[in-house]
Amino acid sequence: MKPIEIAKGIYNVGVNDWNISDFHGYSTPFGTSYNAYLIVDEKIVLVDTVKSEFADELIYNISNLVDPKKIDMVISNHTEMDHSGGLGRVMHRIGEDKPLYCSKMGVKNLPRHFGSQMKLHAVKEGETLCLGKRTLTFLETRMLHWPDSMFTYLTEDKILFSSDAFGQHYAGFEKFDDVIGDEIMRHAKKYYANILLVYAPRILKLVEKVTQLGLDIRMICPDHGIIWRKNLGEIVDAYTRWSKQEPKQKALVIYDTMWHSTERMAEAIASGLASEGISVRPMHLRKWHRSDIMTEVLDAKAIIIGSPTLNNGLFPTVADFLTYLKGLKPK
């Protein structure tokens, strides 16, 4: 992917991963992207990296703009390997002596993956870093969704580098919300339902905190998918709505079946609910992927689960789904 200038002197140098179809149990038929951002000021900064197998592509993208050795510092907003897997290779290329800024938990986590040779600096909530004409401010977002997660805010350009928050698993050449349009919302919803739902109360507090801080945000740059530059209100409102889990008059009948008996029951229950004016869909667990069902669960008011009895227990697909559902803790 060619670097994209998202604002003057600021570039998305990340990569598209077109062929990933399963992201630890979440189906990604549209692939994903690992976004990394290069800020060229008096100091040159790289915000996040990419999955290890894409590290050379990231370095190549950077080389189209600047000699990677000229990068003065790296920010790691999150240790998960889709954003830091390439760190070792990148640091080796730009110089192991360059400072790497991350949260306090990042200082604990990164050496477990990369050894202790990196020059790590822990940044605190609200701490700033001057790049010359621009300033970075760090915001702790602990457990959103990893212990080390943080946001980085570029004050002068009003850009929030939001790590996984507001992301979507979507690979494409359309890199902005106003280019792709409403189509992106279903990907953002699926991402929220399958990755962030379990942290819904924390997300509400974070939205409140950012509102109280009065941060003027012109652009939200997540580490996956498109950048929000036109409809910031739409995605922030959606996150608030999804976190409140206010349901629609909607039910799901989720089931598997061996000889169609459970299927008949599922369809009869769905038909009964529909006759009462409820929006309802029977969802067969071998037709629908668990992550697509979870996306529907997000705004459902009721879920009904049906399983055949197999060897005195639940049918395996039903057990799989219930385990997945339990972990995400929908209200």
**Rounded to the nearest whole angstrom, what is the least distance from the CB of residue 84 to ligand FEO in the complex?**
9
Give the ranges where the chain is alpha helix by DSSP (H).
Answer: 55-63, 81-84, 87-94, 104-114, 177-180, 183-191, 200-213, 232-244, 261-275, 290-297, 316-328
CA atoms of 120 and 84, how far apart (whole Å): 14
Contact 44, 35 (CB under 8 A): no
Catalytic residue, chosen from 17, 223, 224, 263, is 224
Residue 169 a catalytic site member = no
CA atoms of 206 and 199, how far apart (whole Å): 11
CB nearer ligand FEO, residue 145 or residue 290: 145
Pick the closest to residue 285 from 269, 275, 296, 300 (CA basis): 296
**Rounded to the nearest whole angstrom, what is the least distance from the CB of residue 28 to ligand FEO in the complex?**
11
Asked if 82 is part of the footprint of ligand FEO (rule: CB under 6 A), the reply reads yes
**Rounded to the nearest whole angstrom, what is the least distance from the CB of residue 223 to ligand FEO in the complex?**
5
Catalytic residue, chosen from 56, 80, 125, 267, is 80
Q: Please, which of residues 159-178 interact with ligand FEO by CB under 6 A?
A: 164
Asked if 48 is part of the footprint of ligand FEO (rule: CB under 6 A), the reply reads no
Asked if 224 is part of the footprint of ligand FEO (rule: CB under 6 A), the reply reads yes
Which residues have a Cβ under 8 Å from the Cβ of 230 and sit 6 or more positions away? 176, 177, 178
Residue 24 a catalytic site member = yes
**Rounded to the nearest whole angstrom, what is the least distance from the CB of residue 20 to ligand FEO in the complex?**
12
Pick the closest to residue 135 from 45, 5, 8, 3 (CA basis): 45
Catalytic residue, chosen from 17, 148, 164, 296, is 164
**Rounded to the nearest whole angstrom, what is the least distance from the CB of residue 55 to ligand FEO in the complex?**
16
Residue 97 a catalytic site member = no
C-alpha distances out from residue 327 to 27, 31, 193, 320, 321, Å: 17, 24, 11, 11, 10
CB nearer ligand FEO, residue 223 or residue 296: 223
Asked if 78 is part of the footprint of ligand FEO (rule: CB under 6 A), the reply reads yes
N-to-C CA span, the chain: 40
DSSP for 256-325, written as a single string: --SSSHHHHHHHHHHHHHHHTT-EEEEEETTTS-HHHHHHHHTT-SEEEEE--EETTEE-HHHHHHHHHH
Sheet holding 73-75, edge to edge: 4-7, 10-12, 37-40, 44-47, 73-75, 99-102, 119-122
**Rounded to the nearest whole angstrom, what is the least distance from the CB of residue 49 to ligand FEO in the complex?**
12
CB nearer ligand FEO, residue 16 or residue 257: 16
**Rounded to the nearest whole angstrom, what is the least distance from the CB of residue 166 to ligand FEO in the complex?**
12
Q: What angle do CA 285, 291, 294 make, to 5 degrees?
A: 85
With contacts defined by CB under 6 A, name the span among 80-88, 233-241, 245-253, 287-295 that binds ligand FEO. 80-88
CB nearer ligand FEO, residue 200 or residue 252: 200
Catalytic residue, chosen from 24, 97, 182, 216, is 24
Asked if 83 is part of the footprint of ligand FEO (rule: CB under 6 A), the reply reads yes
Output the six-digit token pair for 234: 């739409």
Residue span 125-164 as binding mask against ligand FEO, x where in contact by CB under 6 A, dash where not: --------------------xx-----------------x
Residue 224 a catalytic site member = yes
Q: Which of 9, 27, 56, 80 binds ligand FEO (CB under 6 A)?
A: 80
Active-site residue list: 24, 78, 80, 82, 145, 164, 191, 224
Residues that bind ligand FEO (CB under 6 A): 78, 80, 82-83, 145-146, 164, 223-224
